A and B are shown apart, each in its own frame.
Chain A
Amino acid sequence: MAGGVLVLAEARRGELREVSLELLALGRELADSAGLELRAALVDSEPERFVGQLAATGLTEVLLVRAPTAHFEAHVWEQALAAMIEQERPSLVLLGQTIDSLGFAAAVAARLGLGFASDVTGARFIDGALYVTRGAYGEKLIAELAFPDRECTLLTVRAGIFAAAPVDGSRPPVREVSLELADASATEHLGFVEVAESDVDITKAEFLLSIGRGVEDAENIPRFERLAERLGATLSVSRPLVDAGWMPAARQVGQSGKTVRPRVYLAMGISGAVQHLAGMRQADLIIAVNSDPEAPIFSVAHYGAVADMFEVADALEALLD
């Protein structure tokens, strides 16, 4: 059955990742608008355990690939995906833009000569042709892309943009796809390194005071720790402060940090790189303070102040006295 939308779901350490459901919803929309079938696929050592979680209306079929190991191996996913594409010949393949997919998605697209776009924020069919939107020039512009002459296009979709598909009780047919792995020993898993246990779990906090590069020096951090305490907030940070070694990774909000959903997210001195926004854009109330009026954080914030974070911190401290 050529033409069809194939959604590649993701699981890690026994848990289905939320982006999979977002992809299903997008896939559903696109499949309906173009009159295509929608299929989901998953690669895992025990893929059948996720079928129930993937059940959503309109799903034609679930394809399962049995991976040789419990943990992610890029070459396995690459070969599995390539095999499924060659076998099933979908016209559109959707993956999440995730740390795992960064290891294989583009490789499949390059090798098979597919249409390709990453970090996609919007997609639609117009007169049977696929158009997607993504950021350009560091998110300062929106680019619209087309895929002329491509039988199959692979998109990696930004997580947290689309609403998740509702899971119903439907039981789509399941088919196991056999995989013959070449190069069985591309990489060898040696274990996981857990993030250093910290007394704080920022994902549980209701109110986060988050600071970024604007804080400038490590020595300025303690005063924001105190401010957070006085506000009744937990302190979290963006990536640059962890890279510099000033704060532990446990406090990092972002794509490769923690994803948080507090009631209030007060961001000070954070510019709002895409990877950071991915980790906090779902907060109930986002207030951003940044001296740069063009900072991307203002695009997701509910309230914004173009001001110096230290002056605002001073003023907050004065009010709390």
Chain B
Amino acid sequence: MKILVCVKQVASLDEEFELGGDGLSVDPEFVEWELNEWDSFALEAALRLREQIGASGDEVVVATVGAEVAEDGLLGCLARGADRAVRVWDESLASADVLVVARVLAAVARREQPDLVLCGVQSSDAVNGATGTALAGLLALRRVAVVKRIEPEPEGRALVVERELEGGLLERLRVKLPALLTVQTGIFEPRYATLRAIKQAREKPLERLGPGELGLSPEELSGHAGARLVALRPPERGEGAQLLDGSADRIAARILELVRERVG
């Protein structure tokens, strides 16, 4: 079974940050990059599935659309046990929105022909929750979103999954392969990749492709963008929260006051 895991290197900002020149991005100096938490879980799910099914010719491939900073995340995935990594990038993708990314990933998927595609439900920086589903739409794949549990059927041609609904309710579904799942946090405990494993992961294949090599032209891609960013601004603080300051004792006293006013 071949599993393709789509991952994203997400940006997390320093407390104090400044916008970059064009006002449409944050100055890289204030940005720290890490692998999207949801994608760690997706990768772990892929690795566990491979361990459970354990047929020969199993492969776990990770793919991302990202600049060079994304290679750290890919290395981490390789260190945890992925077999191969693919990174697609060129400058034309710098302002890619979720639909463009999905289109690029779809091209990667067509090339790889996986039996199963796993994505995280959403990324922690953009929080679109859309890439996986858009990808499924483009590939016309069966899909289930927000999956909390995956059990392979013995022959490995279908999966029984549980989808998370509100209020802790879960829905059990059976989905035949090929399929795409977007994976929710908490599905498994992501394994630890030792530094040694990370070092050794550098020996594993990491392909760097431009969209052209996947048969995608920049005009075509930008034509498929779902939206265009026109401005980026700090949120209005509004009234915000009224600050309770002082020592912990004073804060506690004030809290009790407020609570008693409200609930008696």
Interface residues of A (CB under 8 A from B): 12, 71-72, 74-75, 78, 97, 99, 102-111, 113-119, 131-132, 135-148, 153, 156, 183, 185-195, 206-207, 231-232, 239, 242-244, 249-250, 252, 255-259, 263-264, 266, 274, 284-285, 287-289, 293-294, 298-299, 301-308, 311-312, 314-316, 318-320
- A106 CB to closest chain B CB (Å) equals 4
Give Cα distance in the complex from A33 to B124, angstroms: 34
CB<8 Å pairs between A and B, sample of 30: A72-B171, A78-B137, A102-B130, A102-B146, A102-B182, A103-B133, A110-B103, A118-B98, A118-B130, A119-B127, A141-B26, A141-B233, A141-B235, A142-B234, A146-B230, A185-B176, A187-B175, A192-B170, A207-B262, A239-B186, A244-B186, A250-B168, A256-B165, A263-B262, A287-B259, A294-B15, A304-B243, A312-B255, A318-B252, A319-B249
Contact of A119 among B129, B160, B226, B253 (CB under 8 A): B129
- A245 CB to closest chain B CB (Å) equals 8
Specify which of B13, B164, B165 lies most central, judged by the most chain A CB atoms within 10 Å of its CB.
Answer: B165
Inter-chain contacts of B11 with A (CB < 8 A): 137
Contact of B252 among A12, A144, A316 (CB under 8 A): A316
Known: A118-B98, A294-B15. A266 touches B233 (CB 8 A): no
Give Cα distance in the complex from A198 to B164, angstroms: 18
Q: Which residue of B lies closest to A182 (CB)?
A: B140
Pairwise interchain contact B138-A195, C-beta atoms closer than 8 A: no
Give Cα distance in the complex from A33 to B122, angstroms: 32
Inter-chain contacts of B262 with A (CB < 8 A): 207, 263-264, 284-285
Give Cα distance in the complex from A142 to B255, angstroms: 31
Pairwise interchain contact A146-B228, C-beta atoms closer than 8 A: yes
Pairwise interchain contact B172-A136, C-beta atoms closer than 8 A: no
Q: Is B240 close to A, CB under 8 A?
A: yes
Give Cα distance in the complex from A231 to B258, angstroms: 12
Contact of A257 among B168, B175, B228 (CB under 8 A): B168
Which range contains the number of B residues in contact with the other chain? 35 or more
Pairwise interchain contact B227-A106, C-beta atoms closer than 8 A: no
If A109-B134, A192-B170 are given as contacts, then 15 extra A-B residue pairs at C-beta distance below 8 Å, sorted by A number, are A74-B143, A99-B145, A103-B146, A106-B128, A117-B226, A138-B127, A186-B175, A190-B174, A193-B171, A195-B167, A239-B186, A264-B258, A303-B241, A304-B244, A307-B248
Q: Is B238 close to A, CB under 8 A?
A: yes
Known: A188-B173, A193-B170. A144 touches B137 (CB 8 A): no
Give Cα distance in the complex from A249 to B247, angstroms: 34
Pairwise interchain contact A99-B164, C-beta atoms closer than 8 A: yes
Inter-chain contacts of A318 with B (CB < 8 A): 249, 252
Pairwise interchain contact A302-B129, C-beta atoms closer than 8 A: no
Known: A141-B235, A231-B259, A299-B235. A243 touches B133 (CB 8 A): no
Inter-chain contacts of A187 with B (CB < 8 A): 142, 144, 173-175
Known: A115-B227, A303-B242. A139 touches B138 (CB 8 A): no
Give Cα distance in the complex from A193 to B125, angstroms: 31
